[in-house]
A and B are shown apart, each in its own frame.
Chain A
């Protein structure tokens, strides 16, 4: 299974159209391998992006240097997925 350790999902809050466009520009930077969970659309609608551990710092610096507000929605994607797997195993064991 693909391992998502250290990957985070950032929730971005653009406050004007310029900031929406700056976040949209991230889509074109393929080397950052950003997975847009919700895409940049319009001002005041949050944007969620999954970022690999390797590129986390670059992305955060990009956002902060452009005064774009964000919060960390998921601190470690893998830990959530581990919990999901554990729960499925527990349920199967209970059913058996």
Chain B
């Protein structure tokens, strides 16, 4: 597509097409959108983050999609979010207020090697593509690679499993890049990592049954967010801490971000209606993105209005 207006948001796209979209969006909105390369993947692909900002030195709200490469509806939703933010700024009062106070950071393809692999070799690939010494099995689960209960229950030491944690915390460059960026930024106040397909909104912890000191607040905000989401198409979400809602998972993204002091840390599991799983038909991309945006807006607004 030559512009983000002619881009087809209702189909799945390759990594190169997504990068072209990112460049177009930046070129079309030079005063609002910029691209930051926070690092490179194992195979050398750029780890691009879109920064929506109207002023210097602002607190920020982070969103990432596609850390599990086969969850295609998440990258597709990320593209839609990017266009929505650029389009609504100056038109939608709440989003305009948000961007006049905080930045939004959006990493659309968080695991580019895996994503390219899903297009070229194995549509069901979930992990990164880094080799594991002593094993023929490739890749690490980037959502078990964070320094938060790393190596504990709910992750695997077997490189041939889908939940292989990697040789050490932050061993994956895709994870390390975010870790370094979050630390160097130092002012990220909200963080959402987006997955599919269990229809859940989750918050820390996953590696321990201990409740965070902010459990009640996160629970209330999550309830408001899933109610907003359901208001559009009636999609039913559950919500709660990771360990209480799904299972014990060690080394997860948002446990690390919470422990870094990012109080408003959440993880989404976007929709499926129990029919398609990771092969969600493309005609559900826009409805999924639309309803998720309503929930995201609630999370962003709460962060904006409760900076700490």
One of A4, A11, A35, A46 near B162 (C-beta < 8 A): A35
Q: Total A-B residue pairs with C-beta atoms closer than 8 Å?
A: 62
Residues of B near A87 (CB, < 8 A) are: 11, 281-282
* Interface SS of chain A: mixed
Residues of A near B277 (CB, < 8 A) are: 9, 37, 48, 73-74
Asked whether B121 lies within 8 Å of A95 as measured between CB atoms, the reply is no
Given contacts A2-B121, A30-B160, contact A91 B11 (CB under 8 A): yes
What residue of chain B has the Cβ atom nearest to residue A11's Cβ? B274
Task: Say if the beta carbon of B233 comes within 8 Å of chain A.
Answer: no
One of A2, A9, A74, A95 near B122 (C-beta < 8 A): A2
Asked whether A88 lies within 8 Å of B12 as measured between CB atoms, the reply is yes
Number of A residues near B (Cβ < 8 Å) is: 28
Task: Say if the beta carbon of B181 comes within 8 Å of chain A.
Answer: no
Residues of A near B281 (CB, < 8 A) are: 83-84, 87
- Name, among B8, B120, B121, the residue most crowded by chain A CB atoms within 10 Å (CB to CB): B8
* Interface SS of chain B: loop
Distance in Å: Cβ of B270 to nearest Cβ of chain A? 13
Task: Say if the beta carbon of A70 comes within 8 Å of chain B.
Answer: no
What residue of chain B has the Cβ atom nearest to residue A48's Cβ? B277
One of A1, A41, A80 near B120 (C-beta < 8 A): A1
Asked whether A91 lies within 8 Å of B279 as measured between CB atoms, the reply is no
CA–CA, A81 and B276, complex, Å: 10
Task: Say if the beta carbon of B91 comes within 8 Å of chain A.
Answer: no
Asked whether A73 lies within 8 Å of B6 as measured between CB atoms, the reply is no
- Name, among A36, A81, A88, the residue most crowded by chain B CB atoms within 10 Å (CB to CB): A88
One of A2, A36, A81, A94 near B279 (C-beta < 8 A): A81
Extra 7 A-B pairs, beta carbons < 8 Å, given A41-B246, A91-B10: A1-B121, A1-B122, A35-B124, A37-B277, A41-B247, A87-B282, A91-B282
Residues of A within 8 A of B (CB): 1-2, 4, 9, 11, 30, 35-41, 46, 48, 50, 73-74, 77, 80-81, 83-84, 87-88, 91, 94-95
* Among all A-B residue pairs, the 10 with the closest Cβ atoms: A91-B11, A2-B122, A80-B279, A41-B247, A37-B277, A81-B123, A91-B8, A41-B246, A87-B282, A39-B247
